[in-house]
Amino acid sequence: MLVETPDNTTQKLVLIDTIQRLGVAYHFKNEIKTSIQNIFDESKQSKNEDDDDLYVVALRFRLVRQQRHYMSSDVFKKFTNHDEKFKENLIKDVHGLLSLYEATHLRIHEEEIFEEALIFTITHLESMVPKLSNLLKAQVSEALSQPIHTNLPRLLARKYICIYENIESHSDLLLRFAKLDFNILQKLHQGELCELTRCDDISAINLVSPNLRPVYRTLLDRYDEIEEELTKESKLECLYYAKQEMKKVARAYLKEALWLNDVYIPKCEEYMKIAIVSTTVMMAATTFLCVMEENITKETFEWVINEPLILRASSVIGRLKDDINTNDFEQQRSHVASFIECYMKEHGVSKQEAYVEAQKKLANAETR
């Protein structure tokens, strides 16, 4: 399919873009590299028939720059007036505006035309959203929330698969391949995370996939340093507790990653059970006790790892303050649901009512 489609045609550009958005481009790395090189070379030698099509020009520009070739932003000057403002007749071209918007995120220093383009596209795309079809509305809303260039490939793939299957002209073969690939990789990544949380020492590093080994090695190095110091002070037994708390945090991060992948919004109780661990208050308290000069008794460590009220309250305060203060920002990108979203879904209330409940729980934790 990719090889058979002629280079520098609109069909080839769209196909490459689709393959990349669906998250399967790594299977065709060499073919895509060759095609874009040919597209880039041809664009420098001759005028393209569709140079007056904003959608195609912007798409070609983005794909070429993504491949680290320099294409001048002058290709967009034909779409501006003498005052360097974009032509008003473009505001009805939704696909063209969306393509230009995505291209602006590959701008480099002193490309002023893109500063104007970004304002122009955002202004008009936002005003269009209420009038668009559901499919196009989803595409525009997602792009405004998280442009392709700054998105995470796997999260982009998950969302675009849902969009692509509703496009009438989609390829059934490509769609099935993308779904299968996504599910296989998801299982692989989940398994890798489980391996990481299950492993204890360097002897288990071969059980960890190669791409996670540097992370695992660094983590072990930090604990080796702590172990060396504790051995000198005859306090090695307390390291066991620090490692146990670290494992709890890793498992909590895994759970949150699974929620994000599955687009799952838990109930508040389930959310807070994981959240008070992922704040790392318990892990930090245990680690600090390990490195203190005083000798800490086993009973004290047992008290800490059983989540005493003071540490649970500290964890709740940290989590709720973060959710209250950063919720709007965090939800503009791909991010696990916060207490706000969990409460809204569980109780069927507005965001404002969820904020009020979060403030109540925060105040309650602060008075404990």
DSSP 145-207: HS-GGGS-HHHHHHHHHHHHTTSTT--HHHHHHHHHHHHHHHHHHHHHHHHHHH--SGGGGGG
pLDDT (0 to 100) of residue 85: 92
- Helix, coil or strand: residue 281: helix
Within this chain, do residues 162 and 25 fall inside the same structural domain, yes or no? yes
Residue 239 structure tokens: 């390291």
- Asked whether residue 225 is assigned to any structural domain, the reply reads no
Compute CA 352 distance to the chain's CA centroid, rounded to the nearest angstrom.
26
User: Among the three residues 120, 135, 168, which one is the final residue of a domain in this structure?
Assistant: 168
- Asked whether residue 200 is assigned to any structural domain, the reply reads no
pTM for the model stands at 0.58
For residues 293 and 310, give the distance between their C-alpha atoms in angstroms, rounded to a whole number: 22
Lowest mean pLDDT among 91-105, 267-281, 290-304: 290-304
User: Among the three residues 143, 168, 193, which one is the final residue of a domain in this structure?
Assistant: 168
- Asked whether residue 187 is assigned to any structural domain, the reply reads no
For residue 333, the domain's CATH number is: 1.10.600.10
Q: What is the pLDDT of residues 94-129, one digit of tens each?
A: 999 999 999 998 988 788 899 899 899 999 999 999
Q: Which domain holds residue 321?
A: 241-366
Q: To the nearest whole number, what is the mean pLDDT of the chain?
A: 86
Within this chain, do residues 21 and 132 fall inside the same structural domain, yes or no? yes
Within this chain, do residues 141 and 260 fall inside the same structural domain, yes or no? no
User: Among the three residues 141, 168, 195, which one is the final residue of a domain in this structure?
Assistant: 168
Q: What DSSP state is assigned to residue 306?
A: T
The set of long-range contacts for 322-327, using a CB threshold of 8 Å and a minimum separation of 24, is: 323/358, 324/355, 324/358, 324/359, 324/362
pLDDT (0 to 100) of residue 239: 81
pLDDT (0 to 100) of residue 189: 74
For residues 172 and 76, give the distance between their C-alpha atoms in angstroms, rounded to a whole number: 34
Q: Cα angle vertex 264, ends 150, 284, to 5°?
A: 75
Q: How many domains does the chain have?
A: 2
- Asked whether residue 204 is assigned to any structural domain, the reply reads no
Round to the nearest angstrom and report the end-to-end CA distance of the chain. 64
Within this chain, do residues 163 and 279 fall inside the same structural domain, yes or no? no
Give yes or no for residue 252 having a pLDDT over 80.
yes
Q: What is the pLDDT of residues 155-171, one digit of tens each?
A: 889 899 999 999 999 99
